[in-house]
Structure 1
Amino acid sequence: MPVHWNMKPAFSPFSEIHTVKLLSQLSVLRHLQNMDNQIEISVQSPNTNANTHQADHQRRVNTLHKAALKGDWKAAKSYVSSDQKKNWNIEITKDRNTALHIAVSAKQTAFVRNLVECLKESDLELKNKYGYTAFCTAAASGVVEIAEVMYHKNKNLPKISSKKLESESGFSPLQIAIWFRKKGMAEYLYPITPLEGLVDKEYMDILVEAIRADMYDIALKMLNDSTRIATSTTISTEKALQALAQKDLSYNHKFQGRIWERLVSILATIPCIPYFKRIHSSLQTRRQASKLVMQMTLLDSSILIQETQILHDAAKIGNVEFLTLITQSFPGLTWNLDSKKYTIFHVAVINRQEKVFSLIYQTGAAKDFNTYYSDDDKNNILHLAGKIAPPSRLNIVSGPALQMQIELLWFKEVKKIVRPFYVQAKNKEGKTPRELFTMEHENLRKAGEKWMKDTSTSCMLVAALIATVAFAAAFTVPGGNKGETGSPIFLTDRWFKVFVISDAVAMFSSIASIMMFLSILTSRYGEDEFEFLLPAKLMAGLSTLFASIVCMVLTFSATFFLAYKEEKQGTLPKLVAALAVLPITLYAVLNCRLWIALFRSTCWTSRFMFRPGKHKLF
């Protein structure tokens, strides 16, 4: 039975006092809490409003940024009211780009046109963090229509460069277009850019950039439209000539001569043949470059060319057109020496530029003086031929064996023009040219040996398989033999004759191929063998292997037609004949580049590599 006095606490003076104190403390805490709440509300209210305003501003900026990128004019206009036009010019990126900068870089032409109508002329002159106006950005984008819209609003834009401070140097919109290789934009900006307002350095920078960008027509206009270069005493054409010397001015096609050029110019007008249009454009570019070289040489003397060693730079890259144009005006520069006592022919040997080296045969007896000089290490021109070629020139030929062949041809060609004393002359290291050649090309010789052996082993395996199949097929004729005489049943059939002939050729050609590849594997791989013997054996082995593959496929096709001669009018024999072409085509396509390289190096290069060309030195 429960005890009732335990259900209620006993009354005592201590408990009453404790309860009063507790209640008083609770009331104080509640009062302090109310005060804290009041303080918090009164202090945080302004920050909340500021955060809300900042968030709204950021939202507007992001919306405007996206609209400019996408070209959504309606979305951009909805967030900029008529009484807040200044918001068009707010900086919406950390690089201080405005909506106009963004839209121009995104090539949103319609958006830019609408935006420009809402801006003042001065608004188009605003620059970003790097000093670029939106017009400079348009020059880099290459969209001429955008530049036209902005220029129609503010005619001062082509004059404003990308400089951030007056004391700094910047880039004009024309120079920016040339730098980014925007030819159409550069041609538009050139007539509206006041070049007379540029200082000499900025003027020459634009000229040099035009040459480097292959915009020779603009460079010619700059020379013809202004007499600044001819009359100024502070302008140097050194950089312009160096830029021309480092350009490839050669005609990389066979359409040369007045008749061909006239024909190409006519064919270039046909819109459905873009190939001739590109050729015609290339012809015009090379012609403009040659004209530019001639005009530049008229402005300068041979002293500048000699001091800057521009001819040696041209010889290094094989710019034979530039060399011949310069030497026709200044013939004495042919014997000019650089800091290492090298003539242009020494430089041509070092960099394996055969077109430049072939010019030495036009110097007559003077070639003995050109080959007389030696450098500080006592290396004569034959020593330079004994050194290995730069990788950029060596890798033009595919395969280390063919690279070794080209190096041998170079060494022997240079050996023909030097005096006998130079053949045995020693350099500072005590090495003759031939000893230097052996030392420098040892790794290349080993790589060529490995390449030849690997190629021969793989091809010999295929040839052995074909020989085995062809030998077995000769005694397993299709249709069987007659029991009485043992002669083949299809002996009188024309497809049987095709079978016999193709099988015999396949076997004999595959055996010949095996012998060729076996001869390569057993070679001693001396240096001189790479000049002709080894490449010729490889070319013969590949040719006989191809013949055996063709005949093997033809043997199979003939056997198929004999076995199914009753259905030879159907689609099955035609399908088989079509499929037979597949392996032949695959082999020819996959090995086409190797065949061409072998034929060119073995039959063409050895005879015509150093043949004098159409260029005249004087």
Structure 2
Amino acid sequence: MSRLNMAITVVPIVLNRKNYDDWSSRIKTYLLAKDLWNVVHLETEDEENAQSRAWKKKDAKALYAIQNSCGDDTYKLIKDKTTAKEAWDTLYQKLKPGHDERPLSQKDRRPVIQAFPTQTDHDATPELTMEEGRTGGANSDNGETFVKYVVSLKWNDAIKFLCDHPDAGSAIISDGGTALHYAIWNLRSCSARIIEQLVGLMTREDLQIKDSNGLTALHHLIRCYPERVEVAESMVKKNRKLLTILDSEETPLVVEAQSREKGERMANYLFSETPPETLEVTDAAQLISLGFRLERFDIVLWDLIQHYPKLVMVKDYNGDFPLITLASKPSPFSSGSRFGLLEKLIYHGIRIKPLPFIDSRVNVQKPESDQRVQGWLIWLEWIAMAIMSAMVKVFRRNLENDPIYKMKLVHERIKQFLPLICKVSEHVESNEMKSFDTALCVAAERGNVEYITHFLKDPSHHLDDIKNEKGQNLLQIAAECRQRQVFDLIYVPYDELKEQRKYGKDQFDRIRDRVGKKDHFGNNMLHTVACISSLSKIDHTQGVALQMQRELQWFKEVESIAYPKDCESVNKDNMTPREVFTENHKEMEKEAKSSIKETSTSCSVVSALIVTLMFAAVFKIPSGKDGNNGVPGGKLSTALIVLDAISLFSSTTSVIIFLNILTSSYSEDDLWIHLPDQMMMGLFTLLLSIVSMISTFSCVLYIELDGKLWVVISCILFVSVPLSLFILKKSGVLFEILISTYGPIMFREIRKWVPVPKWLAVLVKDLISNYF
């Protein structure tokens, strides 16, 4: 707690594992302003002063500022450092994006087939080695003439001249490049046919020439126009050695293509042509990481992971494990996607053909079907799926370019990839399990339920042994990040255990023990759920009042199954869970109160106006056909009086309810259930009074303008527009409060009282989860 408050006074940002660049820029400015930066960035002339008393004092001030601008998890990285420079360098090495602690010479340069040999690789021998490329020769008279044609973009003349003088192909145009380089730079004005003709006329050695930047023409093609696969094909067919020429950063062509925005097809082609014995381990790991990061679950990833699944545990160029890269991406998993009703129907109607298995022995287990779906339910499922498939064909002609299709494709590919990745954990040493545990912790932060489900099936992954750097288990991580679906997966509520006795008393005691377990800062799960950290997912609920209610629901749920002693336990800041909750939610509670008061005030004013109008309308009811005493006769008379009475009584009730809300004590418990209940009743009676008022107005118009129906209808439509907009807006708020307060309990699965097809259960569950 103290470090968090200090960070606000030093810089307005707390360092975590995702904002190093922003934090370092601000803390550097702060240290410069305080004349402390030279302590962190120690220069040679300052070394002789480093032992002076004044220097040590400045060093202590800088170290104090750095430590107290860190969050709890990042502070742990530097808590043992004694100087500001040591702390700064450590944070740079650990948190700087893209920083790789290993120099290039220490990266794993073994070929993949050597590092992870398979049955098919035992007899393989290297056919190609990595090429260095070459530089162009000096320009002769013929070369100078050829260069003039190329620079002036007279490609037909250049082609004719090259046919007569083949040696001109190595002539240098600019920046050490050849005519082929120049043609690719100007590909927008130069057709692919011209480039293919140049490739056909130039020698194989000419295609290997590098420019002054160390790049061949194929390198430039991949960097500038990765979508032009046909041009790359013509160059590779001419000289396959181009595939093994590296750029100045020693990056293979296939990795370069995979990193480009439109390079998916190019990467697939280059991967199919690149000899596997020339692909190094780190390069292959980078390919997999890029595929996960860019959501390209294509043949490149499929082939690499099937042949060499242990590559997911090899560090890529950035020092990250592909295993963790996948865990940090919610979008490839179906639990991280949200659809409307129509989109969800289309999604379930799309059928994706699975990728073929290279090894027939690999078998991905399909989820067990619901054995209760029998008889007429089978026919119902078949008819529904046929209708959805027909909808897809009718409304989605360009399906392959549709975002829903692409998302379904990624989700189906993930279902194939995960079992292969999980099998790696069955054959690794105990010291290598740390990367899997880290990946599970990251998946819990991001809410990737499918990822965690597959790994927890392996008995080597024990729920209580998986912890992050703060000492939190998966349960605490899910609570801190407010990941409901992960919390549902690894936690069984008390009332269901008590009712079903499925696991018995011992299992429930273990669950309560997990709630009481503390991390490195003395926080149990109640402390954790009471805090709001940078990872807490609290902004997905509309309205600050509902956010506060959701926070209270989390806290109350965990509190309901905790031991009484854990509810009063104190952390290292000597604070109980309730004190932590109150301290962290001061601003949110204040904003929630203000929001409720503003809504109640505006609604009470509208209700009071309706009361005034409808009360006065009782004494001014127009005359009808059946008398002159001001009271219309027949059924219309009864309807008018009833509608007026309903509007008057409901608006009066609404005023009373909103006045009760305005005079409420606004305690935390009131914000949990009482005030949402009052708000729902007040909004419902207000909307009822508005609808009744419009109906009363329609009856009065019908009576007064007898025989002029078109006038009556026109007036009613004009009056109904603004009132309908108000009703729609407030009914949306009413529905949100209703779902948030009385919807399916967010920590429990919906009971399966009747057997339903799996697709329908998933559809209903996803639609409901959109409101949470």
Say yes or no: TM over 0.5. yes
* Alpha-carbon shift at residue 295 of structure 1 (Å): 1.0
The separation in 1 between residues aligned to 2:298 and 2:391, in whole angstroms, is 19
Structure 2 SS opposite 1:309: helix
Alignment check: 8 A CA contact 1:404 1:444 kept: yes
Give the counterpart letter for 2:481 in structure 1: N
2:725 match: 586
CA RMSD of aligned residues (A): 4.3
2:329 match: 247
Q: Does residue 377 in structure 1 map to residue 377 in structure 2?
A: no
* Alpha-carbon shift at residue 485 of structure 1 (Å): 6.5
Identity across matched positions, percent: 25
1:292 match: 417
Q: Does residue 215 in structure 1 map to residue 296 in structure 2?
A: yes
Q: Does residue 360 in structure 1 map to residue 491 in structure 2?
A: yes
Q: Does residue 516 in structure 1 map to residue 666 in structure 2?
A: no
2:602 match: 458
* Alpha-carbon shift at residue 339 of structure 1 (Å): 3.0
1:532 match: 673
* Alpha-carbon shift at residue 437 of structure 1 (Å): 1.3
* Alpha-carbon shift at residue 329 of structure 1 (Å): 1.2
The separation in 1 between residues aligned to 2:528 and 2:721, in whole angstroms, is 48
1:112 match: 192
* Alpha-carbon shift at residue 508 of structure 1 (Å): 2.2
2:697 match: 556
Structure 2 SS opposite 1:475: helix
Give the counterpart letter for 1:250 in structure 2: S
Alignment check: 8 A CA contact 1:481 1:487 kept: no
Deviations 1:366-400 (A, max 9, x none): 32442342123322111112213547511111222
The separation in 2 between residues aligned to 1:424 and 1:309, in whole angstroms, is 31
* Alpha-carbon shift at residue 207 of structure 1 (Å): 1.3
Alignment check: 8 A CA contact 1:140 1:180 kept: no
1:507 match: 648
Structure 2 SS opposite 1:566: coil
The separation in 1 between residues aligned to 2:640 and 2:670, in whole angstroms, is 39
The separation in 1 between residues aligned to 2:217 and 2:173, in whole angstroms, is 14
Alignment check: 8 A CA contact 1:161 1:170 kept: no
1:6 match: none
Give the counterpart letter for 1:510 in structure 2: S
Equivalent of 1:472 in 616, 637, 651 = 616
Q: Does residue 192 in structure 1 map to residue 192 in structure 2?
A: no
1:48-197 to structure 2, matched below 5 A, reads 77=155, 82-83=160-161, 90-91=173-174, 99-104=182-187, 111-119=191-199, 120=202, 135=218, 139=222, 144=227, 146-155=228-237, 156=239, 160=243, 163-165=246-248, 168-173=249-254, 175-180=256-261, 182-197=263-278
User: Which range moves more in the overlay, 318-327 or 257-266?
Assistant: 257-266
Alignment check: 8 A CA contact 2:545 2:593 kept: yes
Alignment check: 8 A CA contact 2:481 2:535 kept: no
1:440-459 to structure 2, matched below 5 A, reads 440-459=584-603
* Alpha-carbon shift at residue 133 of structure 1 (Å): 5.5
Equivalent of 1:491 in 594, 612, 633 = 633
The separation in 2 between residues aligned to 1:386 and 1:228, in whole angstroms, is 40
* Alpha-carbon shift at residue 530 of structure 1 (Å): 0.9
2:448 match: 319
1:261-300 to structure 2, matched below 5 A, reads 263=386, 266-267=389-390, 270-273=393-396, 282-300=407-425
* Alpha-carbon shift at residue 272 of structure 1 (Å): 2.1
Equivalent of 1:408 in 548, 552, 565 = 552
Structure 2 SS opposite 1:550: helix
Deviations 1:303-354 (A, max 9, x none): 3233552211111111121111101013543112333221111111111112
1:575 match: 714
1:334 match: 463
State the TM-score, normalized to the length of structure 2: 0.60
User: Which range moves more in the overlay, 424-433 or 236-245?
Assistant: 236-245
Alignment check: 8 A CA contact 2:159 2:198 kept: no
* Alpha-carbon shift at residue 453 of structure 1 (Å): 0.5
The separation in 2 between residues aligned to 1:232 and 1:377, in whole angstroms, is 30
Equivalent of 2:567 in 423, 427, 430 = 423
Q: 1:537 to 1:200 in 2, by over 3 A?
A: same
| Bigger Cα Rg | 1
1:609 match: 747
Structure 2 SS opposite 1:565: coil
User: Which range moves more in the overlay, 188-197 or 318-327?
Assistant: 188-197
Alignment check: 8 A CA contact 2:515 2:562 kept: yes
Q: 1:481 to 1:457 in 2, by over 3 A?
A: farther
The separation in 2 between residues aligned to 1:264 and 1:198, in whole angstroms, is 47
The separation in 2 between residues aligned to 1:61 and 1:393, in whole angstroms, is 58
The separation in 1 between residues aligned to 2:609 and 2:515, in whole angstroms, is 55
2:686 match: 545
Give the counterpart letter for 1:600 in structure 2: I
Alignment check: 8 A CA contact 1:383 1:436 kept: yes
Deviations 1:136-162 (A, max 9, x none): 565567775x31144134435795489
* Alpha-carbon shift at residue 123 of structure 1 (Å): 6.7
Q: 1:430 to 1:235 in 2, by over 3 A?
A: closer
Q: 1:126 to 1:227 in 2, by over 3 A?
A: same
Q: 1:592 to 1:246 in 2, by over 3 A?
A: farther
